[in-house]
Amino acid sequence: MASKGKHWGLVSPFLPARAVAEAARLQEAAGLAGTFAAQVFGPPFAPLAAAAAGTEKLLLASGIAIALTRSPFETAMAAIDLDRMSEGRFILGLGSSVKAWTQGLFGMPYSEPVAQLRETVAAIRHVVAGAHTGQIRPFNGRYWQLDFSELQAPPPPPRTHIPIWISALRGAMTRLGAEIGDGVIGHPIWSTQWARTVLVDELKAGLARGQRERKDIEVNLWFWATPNRDAKQSIEDGRAVVAFYAGIAQYEPYFAAHGFAEHCRRMQDAVQRGAYQTMAATVPDEMVETFVLTGTPDSVRRKGDAMWEVADSVCIIPPLLSLAPDQTSAYFQTIAETLY
């Protein structure tokens, strides 16, 4: 499988910096193309700085930074800092997340996420390209109004164009990524069927809108995976992560498109009652197998191989949100042995 495309890893914000640096070093030594740090609660930039210190060639990406929780200027400056620390190895992965997080947890406006993200990307690129010149013009958009009249020009960035990859769940954000992004990041809850059908059509539509070609973007697909010699345990270990995402009201149309609307509504009710972990046991095997790469290592390898039809790179990870640390570590090892 490793010969068919590029593999990416993941570093955790919940570890000491030296452990993050060592994990990144091992991923580089294993031949991975890059590593991501995700925004779960805090921004993903700190673990990537630690990863930069422990590596020389590994690409470093936010996977993802929630774009609407901070100003485009702050995001642009963080991207420039990381690009400098990594000597030009940084990729800015951005996503809109969901209203319950962006507005409910972070307290930021969330009304038209696709349009908001489009403008945010434009503003970030405006800052990265022009802040150091001393002549940057104001950015006057619908959602962001940035006045740079008193900006003291920062040092020149290593690059005046930092790649931006856009994370997508459904069609509108996939089309946006293909239209304006340097890459598209697939949501880890995507089914392989979705990636091989809906994704392909939406990419074509977005590329056409942007008058671009397929070679102009990177398609990076994420998947939850539980390769286990005990196939029943593999399904069991994937159950709670499916319940977590099914419990997000904004994701209901996605699950409904796969025929799981009723299960999704039950999980939403469980989340409201603070009982999603208990209700996870009710997620049917078929639903787990749809949204997680389950089964024996050979089975997971075969499912993963099929993704190279559409992917330029992949990031395959265990269900970090719902497994104990020792289970997570064991699955990371099995994934490495199985896939690369």
User: What is the count of structural domains for the chain?
Assistant: 1
Q: What is the dihedral of CA 74, 76, 77, 83, to 10 degrees?
A: 140
Cα distance from N-terminal residue to C-terminal residue, the chain: 7
User: How much is the pLDDT for 5?
Assistant: 76
Strands (E), the chain: 6-11, 34-37, 59-62, 65-66, 90-95, 139-140, 145-146, 164-168, 183-186, 218-227, 293-295, 313-317
Provide the domain limits for residue 194.
Answer: 2-339
Q: What is each CA distance from 95 to 18, 38, 39, 237, 319, in whole angstroms? A: 28, 11, 10, 27, 20
Coil, strand or helix: which one is 168?
strand
- The answer to whether the bond into 64 is cis (omega within 30° of 0) is yes
* Tokens of residue 156, six digits: 């020149």
User: How much is the pLDDT for 39?
Assistant: 93
pLDDT values of the chain reduced to their tens digit, one per residue, 340 residues: 334 579 999 999 889 999 999 999 999 999 999 999 999 899 999 999 999 999 999 999 999 999 999 999 999 999 999 999 999 999 999 999 999 889 999 999 999 999 999 999 999 999 999 999 999 999 999 999 999 999 999 999 999 999 999 999 999 999 999 999 999 999 999 999 999 999 999 999 999 999 999 999 999 999 999 999 999 999 999 999 999 999 999 999 999 999 999 999 999 988 788 766 778 899 999 999 999 999 999 999 999 999 999 999 999 999 988 899 899 999 999 999 998 8
Secondary structure letter of residue 44 according to DSSP: S
Q: What is each CA distance from 227 to 158, 224, 287, in whole angstroms? A: 40, 10, 17
User: How much is the pLDDT for 4?
Assistant: 58
282: domain CATH number is: 3.20.20.30
Coil, strand or helix: which one is 110?
coil
User: How much is the pLDDT for 1?
Assistant: 34
pTM: 0.95
Coil, strand or helix: which one is 62?
strand
